């Protein structure tokens, strides 16, 4: 592939496989992968731990002043750990309590402004794959490649269930389904940057695709775009 670096924005509902393809792409291209959802999760974790009242704008603003988020590359996992004020919170941000509250926190205007500013700063140098809900529509409207991922709801529930079962063997499929449905609803109907497909995004439905088929397809789209992208120093 040519040395031209682009921004790849991947959006879609939870558990559509966004992070799987994003990690594969980053590894293949030597790009940085940023999981923007992890940032909203880390903020939620901080709010929960410090008993911040999400509904009080002043409390939210003060809390955000005390939060520093960064990513630290983990050689072994071949992915970045997310750091909340120098603590690696990659595992606790996946807790059910965070799942249950993150959509509410991500719907707060100040929280979004805080996260989006950091995401845009990270993307300045290009050579980045970022996944989330508003990456192609708000964070990087100029991204050279925008993908909107979808998958059959039943497939998504089973994917999320398998992922959560590893750390929580008491979890039930019904609990996972209920949480996904609720988050889909909040994420797509909130006032601030609701999840929607950017006009120029390509839809990728991976319900019945293997990871290899999916990667081949996306690599083909990237090849088309890197030909057109201006050379990066
Ligand atoms: O991708 P995820 O399930 O880890 O995301 C956690 C929550 O964060 C999800 O409910 C929606 C929100 N989110 C968002 O509003 N905007 C993003 N760019 C990424 C995630």
Q: Which atom of ligand 1 is nearest to the CA of 187?
A: 11
Kindly tell me if the per-residue pLDDT of 189 is higher than 70.
Answer: yes
CA distance 106 to 119: 14
Domain ranges of the chain: 7-223
Pocket lining: 132 vs ligand 1, CB cutoff 6 Å: yes
DSSP alpha helix (H) spans, 50-194: 57-65, 96-106, 109-122, 153-165, 173-189
Decide: 11 and 136 in contact? Cβ < 8 Å: yes
Kindly tell me if the per-residue pLDDT of 233 is higher than 50.
Answer: no
CATH number given to 7-223: 3.40.50.300
Strand order in the sheet with 202-205: 32-35, 128-132, 7-12, 145-150, 202-205
User: Of all protein residues, whose CA lies closest to atom 13 belonging to ligand 1?
Assistant: 37
User: Of all protein residues, whose CA lies closest to atom 15 belonging to ligand 1?
Assistant: 106
Mean pLDDT computed over 144-164: 93
Q: How far is CA 150 from the centre of its chain?
A: 14
* Ligand 1 pocket test, candidate residues 102, 185, 195, most atoms within 8 A of CB: 102
Q: What percent of the chain stands above pLDDT 90?
A: 79
Cα 177 to Cα 14, 134, 138, 156, 158: the distances in Å are 11, 23, 28, 9, 9
Q: Could you report how far apart the first and last alpha carbons of the chain are, in Å? A: 16
What pLDDT, in 10s, does the model give residues 31-75? 999 999 999 999 999 999 999 999 999 999 999 999 999 999 888
Pocket lining: 40 vs ligand 1, CB cutoff 6 Å: yes
Kindly tell me if the per-residue pLDDT of 166 is higher than 70.
Answer: yes
Q: Identify the residue with better confidence: 215 or 232.
A: 215
Q: Are strands 32-35 and 7-12 parallel, antiparallel or unpaired?
A: unpaired
- Indicate left, alpha or beta for 15 from its phi (over 0: left) and psi (-120 to 50: alpha): left
- Consecutive H or E run containing 26: helix 18-29
Q: Which atom of ligand 1 is nearest to the CA of 106?
A: 15
Whole-structure pTM value: 0.90
CA distance 55 to 47: 11
């Amino acid at each position: 592939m040519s040395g031209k670096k682009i921004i790849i924005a991947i959006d879609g509902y939870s558990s559509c496989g966004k992070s799987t393809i994003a990690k594969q792409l980053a590894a293949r291209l030597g790009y940085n992968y940023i999981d923007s959802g992890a940032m909203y999760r880390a903020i939620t974790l901080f709010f929960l731990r410090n008993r911040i009242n999400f509904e009080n704008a002043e409390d939210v603003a003060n809390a955000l002043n005390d939060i520093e988020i960064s990513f630290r590359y983990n050689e072994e996992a071949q992915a970045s750990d997310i750091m909340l004020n120098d603590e690696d919170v990659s595992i606790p941000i996946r807790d059910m309590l965070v799942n249950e509250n993150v959509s509410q926190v991500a719907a707060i205007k100040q929280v979004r402004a805080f996260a989006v500013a950091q995401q845009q700063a990270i993307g300045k140098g290009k050579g980045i794959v970022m996944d989330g809900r508003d990456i192609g529509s708000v964070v990087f409207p100029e991204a050279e490649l925008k993908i909107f991922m979808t998958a059959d709801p039943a497939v998504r529930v089973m994917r999320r269930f398998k992922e959560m079962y590893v750390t929580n063997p008491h979890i039930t499929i019904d609990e996972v389904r209920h949480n996904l449905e609720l988050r889909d609803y909040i994420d797509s109907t909130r006032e601030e940057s609701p999840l929607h497909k950017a006009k120029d995004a390509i839809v990728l439905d991976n319900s019945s695709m293997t990871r290899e088929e999916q990667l081949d397809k996306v690599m083909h789209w990237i090849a088309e775009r890197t030909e057109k992208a201006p050379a990066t120093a």
